[in-house]
Structure 1
Amino acid sequence: MSQKRRVSATQSRAPKRSQIVGDDEDDEDMSFTQPTSSQVQRARENFTTVQIDRKTAEVVQFILIKDQKKVPIRRADIVKHVMKEYKPIYQDIMKRVTRTFEQVFGMKLLEIDSKNHIYILVNKIEPVAGEPVSLYPSNPKTGLLFVILSIIFMKGGVVKEALIWNTLKKLRVDPGEKHDDFGDVKKLVTDEFVRQKYVEYVRIPHTEPLEFEFRWGLRAEKEVSKLKLLEFVAQLHDQEPQSWTQQFREATAAESSQ
């Protein structure tokens, strides 16, 4: 085969840009450019207050639907599926959306990733006084999540996955067996909770066989009160929260910064 033909064959096998970047929604966000002041002004003049209110309501509804699965919401999705021709006044509408969530729903819309423009709806997760930490009748998944976050927090913020699985087994939640409430426990924790940004599941470098560790995710940092969590753990052990000096210091510092 000639040199020219070899080059041509190599080029034909090279992945397309869309395959490298990901899906169309990634392209959509990469193409997002901040509008000029004149473009913003023209858009404000073109749309009536009623139209902007209607579009704000559509964005709120879109985010609520996305949040039902606790999946982070991307700017690319909002622009592509809802904003469309309202794109030049994206910031105006998102301010209204944020205000709506705070005033109507008592929730906060937070941008947890300013580089990739990813949002979450924050609603404080707190333990229920008097309830066993492993059982929340209304939402068993929340109870399981709370157990896992408690373990990570009390162990200094990073734990090997073996500790998580062994602790859950003591609570009769075996990651190797199908659970009545949780289904595939390991998939729920390492896939669903990770996608929802409640936990991070990170490979530990230079381990053979492969080992992984758990950390708190961005959503957990925003939603879960470490002080409430520590107070609840202290109740279970019939001790004061101050008994865990390092955790108490971290929890009170986190509370004061919010």
Structure 2
Amino acid sequence: MTNRKRLSSTQTPSQSRDEDDDPTFTQPSTSQVQRGLERLSTAQVDQRAAEVVQYILMKDQKKVPVRRTDLVKHVVKDYRNIYPEIMKRAARSFDQVFGLKLVEIDTKNHMYILINKLEYTEAASSISSPTNPKRALLFVILSVVFMKGGVVRENLIWNTLKKLRVDPGEKHEEFGDVKKLVTDEFVRQRYLEYVRIPHTEPIEYEFHWGQRADAEVSRAKILQFMGQLHEQDPQSWTQQYREAHSSPSSAQPSTSSQR
């Protein structure tokens, strides 16, 4: 299956169109950036970087990735010839002022998110009485996906939630439409991918580990959480423990489905 086909199976046609990068924008070279900076004052560049920070913070409230094409079109505008420098200064502001990290989770479509790993540490430690119920629900789902190798049929997710008295077929007091929250909101936020399984009748879907989860979620923390939940030593899950404590480059969940 090609990458384009895979994307089309997880997104609506309108989403796929929206995420096409601006064909008129070319990433400027180092020399082009340098020439552009020579024609601008430090204050002008800092001001545009501050506007980028404000724009991303506003968009991040819904946890939806920010596209480079939107940044260029709506914020950077005629400063596009120094785009790398503006993003460099914006990233520094997020780090030093807000304690956040700006991450490009999709290098093909150039999409950015803000991450704060502390949030997940807190979610894992207070899962029984979470201050943010949606985060806690998401953490449970990601835990199931991780323990199953990064891919799991949706029925297993729904059955797990039912055991927690969160029925995807009923309107929940806290979450509303649970199935929509998981398959729409969490997918748009890139925590999960919702992929149709080929050649199934009736049609079946599975959940994959998402790009934002790759950037934000500590697999070691998930395993620690599962150990507490099941009163079991995390090292007893040999494969998952090895994956959780491997180097970052090899710590991605596998793509083989355990069905």
**TM class by smaller structure:** 0.7 to 0.9
Q: Larger relative contact order (C-alpha < 8 A, sep ≥ 6)?
A: 2
Q: Is residue 104 of structure 2 the alignment partner of residue 117 of structure 1?
A: no
| Equivalent residues, number | 235
1:241 is aligned, of 215, 230, 234, to 234
Gaps of 5+ in 1: 1-18
CA contact (8 A) 1:126 1:229 kept: no
Hey, what does 1:14 align to over in structure 2? Answer: none
Q: CA separation of 1:75/1:100 partners in 2, compared to 1, >3 Å: closer, same or farther?
A: same
Match in the other structure for 2:17? 22
Residue by residue over 1:24-46, the C-alpha shift from the partner in whole angstroms, topping out at 9 and shown as x without a partner, is x847x111023466643442122
Q: Is the aligned partner of 1:131 residue 2:110?
A: no
Q: Which residue of structure 1 aligns with residue 4 of structure 2? A: none
Aligned partners of 1:184, 1:243: CA distance in 2, in Å? 36
Question: Against the structure 1 CA distance between its residues 87 and 234, is the aligned structure 2 distance closer, same or farther, given a 3 Å change threshold?
Answer: same
What residue in structure 1 maps to residue 57 of structure 2?
64
Q: Distance in 2 between matches of 1:145 and 1:101?
A: 25
Q: How does 1:133-212 map to 2 (within 5 A)?
A: 133=128, 135-136=129-130, 138-212=131-205
Residue equivalent to 1:15: none
Which amino acid in 2 is paired with 1:147? V
Note the alpha carbon deviations across 1:198-243, whole angstroms, 9 max, x for none: 0011111110000000111010011010101111110122221101
TM-score normalised to structure 2 length = 0.84
Contact 2:124–2:139 under 8 Å retained in 1: no
For residues 25 and 91 of structure 2, what CA distance do their matches in structure 1 show?
Answer: 20
Per-residue deviation, residues 141-191 of structure 1 (Å, max 9, x unmatched):
001100100111112221110010011011111111111111111011000
* CA RMSD of superposed structures (Å): 2.1
Cα deviation, 1:39-85, whole Å, max 9, x if unaligned, reads 43442122211111111111001001111100001000100010011
Q: Give the direction of change, closer, same or farther, for the CA distance of 1:234–1:72 in structure 2 (3 Å limit).
A: same
- What secondary structure is seen at the aligned counterpart in 2 of 1:215? strand
Which stretches in structure 2 are left out of the alignment for 5+ residues? 1-13, 252-259
Structure 1 window deviating more from structure 2 (106-115 vs 219-228): it is 106-115
Residues 49 and 86, structure 2, Cα contact 8 Å, conserved in 1: yes
Q: Which amino acid aligns with 1:204?
A: I
Larger of the two Rg values belongs to structure: 1
Q: What is aligned with 1:7?
A: none
Which of residues 36, 40, 44 is equivalent to 2:33? 40
Using the alignment, how far apart are the partners of 1:181 and 1:37 within structure 2? Answer: 50
